[in-house]
Amino acid sequence: MSTTTTRVPTAAGAITAAALASFDSTPDPRLREIMRSLVQHLHAFITDVQLTEEEWSTAIAVLTATGHITDDKRQEFILWSDVLGASMLVDALAHPADSTGATESTVLGPFWFPDAPRREFGESLSSEEGAGGVPAYVYGRVTDTSGRPIAGAELDVWQNGADGLYTVQRPEAPEDHLRGRYLTREDGSYAFIGVRPLPYTVPNDGPVGNMLRATERHPWRPAHIHMIVSADGYQKLVTHIFDAQSDYLDSDAVFAVKGSLVRDFEARDAGAPSTPQGVSGAWCAVRNDLVLAPA
């Protein structure tokens, strides 16, 4: 018979110490730092709230359900990050407000997916006949922080439609609907015809929706159009433009509003002199200049 010496932790603090020490041999110092900090904060959370075994089981079930509802068109983990403010915090750390005048960033959100169609200057973002909504002519220039135009910058644009839904939420919709990539011209100018966006709820038929209901938080986001702006030699900009007349600007479910990103969607009557080609009926115009920071 062997005599067993207890060299193992039994008390809570000793378990935390052992979990931290397990990363002592991690070769990459950044990975070591992240894993140790993750353990420290995860254990502090569990200890602070004295998490019960039943609550732990609930957390495992919520994570499992989150994994199972997530696919190539729905990203419930990003949605958790968004509604807990984590996405905007990461954004704030990466892009601290500065005085260079570069356009501010905001969350990517769960609806972007790659390979949007390339579209021409001024082309409609819509690929679906009779989709409805008020046409929104969005135009402006992309410049550097000195005001010099950036030619050939790409704007990857996506937004919701007259039913409040993104195309990825509608299996029956043409995949390219309300998505497009535009290039700036020599003078940095770009233009596209979107639709006036609507406030909408974040997807709330899954684990995040259950949490929002249980905590009596509303699921609404103020009306906005997403864009990712990229050009060689400049920092990639992930941002929105928000409609200044939208509800929920001060209570966005994902904390993504920055005052500098709010734009006026100016109403225009049917047949107004500046009516863009292909637009009939009332529409609106949105000037949106964009400034990229150097890489």
Q: Which of residues 77-106 bind its own copies (CB under 8 A)?
A: 77-78, 81, 84-94, 96-97, 104
Q: Applying CB under 8 A, which of residues 131, 162, 165, 244 lies at the interface with its own copies? A: 244
Name which of residues 34 to 53 contact its own copies (CB under 8 A). 34-35, 37-53
Q: Applying CB under 8 A, which of residues 259, 273, 277, 295 lies at the interface with its own copies? A: 259
Interface region with its own copies, contact rule CB under 8 A, candidates 67-75, 143-151, 163-171, 190-198: 67-75
| Residue reference for tokens 């609930």 | 58
- In the chain, DSSP finds a helix count (H) and a strand count (E) of 6, 12
Per DSSP, which regions of the chain are E strands?
135-144, 154-159, 179-183, 189-195, 200-201, 220-221, 224-230, 237-243, 262-263, 266-268, 283-287, 290-292
**Closest residue by Cα to residue 251 from 277, 226, 213, 219:** 219
Tokens standing for 282?
């009332």
The one-letter amino acid code at 63 reads L
154 or 252, CB closer to its own copies?
A: 252
Name which of residues 108 to 167 contact its own copies (CB under 8 A). none
183 makes contact with its own copies (CB under 8 A)? no
40, containing H or E segment: helix 29-49
Cβ atoms < 10 Å from Cβ of 163:
14
75 makes contact with its own copies (CB under 8 A)? yes
233 makes contact with its own copies (CB under 8 A)? no
Name which of residues 18 to 37 contact its own copies (CB under 8 A). 18-19, 22-23, 25-28, 31-35, 37
Interface region with its own copies, contact rule CB under 8 A, candidates 119-127, 129-137, 195-203, 241-249: 241-249
- Applying CB under 8 A, what is the total number of residues that bind its own copies? 88
